[in-house]
Amino acid sequence: MTLMTAQNQPAKLRWGEFEEDDVDDLDFLLPPKQLIGPDENGIKKVIEYKFNEDGNKFNVTTTSRTRKLANARLSKRAVERRSWPKFGDAVHEDVGARLTMVSTEEILLERPRTPGSKAEEPKAGGDSLAQLGKGGAALKLCRTCGKKGDHWTSQCPYKDLAPQAEAFSDKPPTSDAAAGAAGTGKYVPPSVRAGADRTGSDMRRRNDENSVRVTNLPEDTREPDLLELFRPFGAVSRVYVALDKNTSISRGFGFVNFVNREDAQRAINKLNGYGYDNLILRVEWATPRTN
Amino acid sequence: MRPILMKGHERPLTFLKYNRDGDLLFSCAKDHNPTVWFADNGERLGTYRGHNGAVWCCDVSRDSARLITGSADQTAKLWNVQTGQQLFTFNFDSPARAVDFSVGDRLAVITTDPFMELSSAIHVKRIANDPADQVGESALILKGPQGRINRAVWGPLNRTIISAGEDAVIRIWDSETGKLLKENDKEVGHKKTITSLAKSVDGSHFLTGSLDKSAKLWDIRTLTLIKTYVTERPVNAVAMSPLLDHVVLGGGQDASAVTTTDHRAGKFEAKFYDKVLQEEIGGVKGHFGPINALAFNPDGKSFSSGGEDGYVRLHHFDSDYFNIKI
């Protein structure tokens, strides 16, 4: 967070006494850099003084917070190692290199199913293969044949059949209307043809499916809170809270994606108008459904 | 949790190793410079310059003074951890793959790949206290397995060496005589290349990950299968939590198939399983390529993963990780 306060206070020396080029050499007139903190919260302030192009003095206050990652107890040897000098390529490390960064994204340990629910869920048309991968059954949704909880897309038994739909006409691989259309001589764009590689826009759209918009969120709500709120309704594949880029304060809305549409619908029914932290939540489908 | 991303390597990661105190993290990659990082904040401490090929594996001595690395430049090198100085170079006639210090750090096992008409081999080297006295001769050379030996580690009391590799067979060798003591039961064993092997903290059992999309837990003395963890992608890396009964599997599609698919489809997560119940606990996403290396901090409160994308991601667990219920 950088705060610029222009102090419209004229430089001590008259501008006329100097040549233009001298402006760069005025730095000695500036007060030295100030460092306040770090205080008990790890907040550190650095105040630097500079001249701008017009010769006005201004200060730049940089406030930064150092987070303690873990208050781990370190052995004496480890503490000693902390002060070892850098070596190898690390010696010439310039500050701009930014080799180490803290992820801007909050990563959660994503549970395969809601805690407390049964491992074995009744599966539609379950065959013996389905029993093999019982973990994460709720998440299994085949994108090739649309079967839920049966197998992963990569293991779809119909995957190989899909591109040769005509050859195996006795076994229609998908309920896709485009598959039939291919035989009728009507032009079907390659991207919609049966068995087409749907990695483009189609994949993106999938992400929006069963997406629920939550508005009027309290400012201090974070993704884990939202997850906690929505998880009881079913498997959640994504939680997102919109944060202001500069202040990192919540903008008061977010999105929750459910694996199952029914779960999303139940969450909407239940949580729309729900009082959460003294605000009344508004929960609705993120994209207006066409059907 | 917000992972720390460390981008020190230009090429895919191959191996990660914490020292015993858990304050240093060593990373090996296909670029030529193994790197050491502070494990708490991810700051780079230094690099070990001298290898001329991909570095496949490393191990650090118990006192964190020595590092051994095995590289595709047909050498294994001993390093001074603090200064990055090369202490000794073991020369081979084929690429070195796995390295492991014995208990007590007086011996090291180094495996070499099959190359030209040479077959793969496991070398046991004596490690001298003073690097000036170090010699290059092998105390023992074991031969026999077909294909690459991807991992070789010491068994209990340094009496045995456990090896696993491309032929999907786990073997236990006598470290004194070089005799083959045990092979795992073919019926229950892996069906494809074993890519990784991790010992438990107490050294009583170990975990192997294989391209047959499973990981298996074995007893280190009897080589009996204890548990099997089935996943839906090839397993490149495995790790066991020293604190909780959790195992972590990392993997993903083959590197060659990655660019042709959406990253969401790649399953590049680190998957957590309950060690006892063999059930999936959850997944940690983040890499843009398969996970090649996994390591748990010895305190069990953080773990790091290294991917084909060249990043090391250091994860400090949130407090709710420690009371996850299935």
Q: Which of A176-180, A247-251, B75-79, B257-261 has the lowest mean pLDDT?
A: A176-180
**To the nearest whole angstrom, how far is the Cα of B253 from the nearest Cα of chain A?**
11
**Cβ of A100 and B42 within 8 Å?**
yes
**To the nearest whole angstrom, how far is the Cα of A126 from the nearest Cα of chain B?**
18
**Cβ of A88 and B49 within 8 Å?**
yes
- Most A CBs within 10 A among B264, B316, B324, hence the mutation to make, goes to B264
What pLDDT score does A180 carry? 44
- Give how many domains chain A has, as a whole number: 2
**Residue range B275-285: average pLDDT?**
90
pLDDT band at A233 (very low <50, low <70, confident <90, very high): confident
Q: What is the pLDDT of residues A62-95, one digit of tens each?
A: 887 776 555 556 688 888 888 899 888 888 776 5
Share of chain B above pLDDT 90, in %: 75
pTM score: 0.62
- Does the structure show a pLDDT above 60 at A167? no
**Residue range A255-275: average pLDDT?**
87
d(CA B73, CA A202): 45
- Domain final residue, candidates A65, A80, A112: A65
State which residue of chain B sits closest to A143, comparing Cα positions: B265
Q: What is the pLDDT of residues B214-234, one digit of tens each?
A: 999 999 999 999 999 998 889
pLDDT band at B159 (very low <50, low <70, confident <90, very high): very high
**Cβ of B280 and A136 within 8 Å?**
yes
**By residue range, what is the domain housing residue A261?**
205-285
Number of CB pairs < 8 Å for A and B?
A: 143
**Cβ of B4 and A136 within 8 Å?**
no
User: Does the residue A249 lie in any domain?
Assistant: yes
Give CA separation, A57 vs A12, A23, A48, A235, in Å: 10, 12, 11, 57
DSSP code per residue over A147-189? -BSS--GGG-TTTTTGGGTTTTTTS-----HHHHHGGGT----
Identify the helix (H) or strand (E) that includes residue A283.
strand A282-285
User: Does the residue A41 lie in any domain?
Assistant: yes
Parse chain B into domains and list their residue ranges.
Answer: 231-326
**Cβ of A107 and B7 within 8 Å?**
no
User: Does the residue A85 lie in any domain?
Assistant: no
pLDDT band at A177 (very low <50, low <70, confident <90, very high): very low
Q: Which residue has the higher pLDDT, B169 or B260?
A: B169
Question: What are B92's two structure tokens?
Answer: 């081979």
User: Does the residue A242 lie in any domain?
Assistant: yes
**Cβ of A109 and B272 within 8 Å?**
yes
Q: Which of A192-196, B161-165, B291-295 has the lowest mean pLDDT?
A: A192-196
State which residue of chain B sits closest to A101, comparing Cα positions: B5
Q: Which of A2-16, A190-204, A277-291, B62-76 has the lowest mean pLDDT?
A: A2-16
**Cβ of B44 and A70 within 8 Å?**
no
| CATH assignment of the domain containing A267 | 3.30.70.330
* Average pLDDT score over chain B: 91
User: Does the residue A120 lie in any domain?
Assistant: no
Of residues A91, A133, A154, nearest to B230 (C-beta)? A133
What pLDDT score does A140 carry? 67
User: Does the residue A278 lie in any domain?
Assistant: yes
pLDDT band at A259 (very low <50, low <70, confident <90, very high): confident
What pLDDT score does A2 carry? 43
What pLDDT score does A168 carry? 39
What pLDDT score does A236 carry? 86
* Average pLDDT score over chain A: 69
Of residues B261, B284, B301, nearest to A107 (C-beta)? B284
What pLDDT score does A125 carry? 38
Q: What is the pLDDT of residues A123-140, one digit of tens each?
A: 333 344 444 444 444 566
List chain B residues with CB under 8 Å of A93: 44
User: Does the residue A251 lie in any domain?
Assistant: yes
What pLDDT score does A114 carry? 54
* ipTM topping 0.85: no
User: Does the residue A102 lie in any domain?
Assistant: no
- Does the structure show a pLDDT above 80 at A287? no
**Cβ of B285 and A70 within 8 Å?**
no
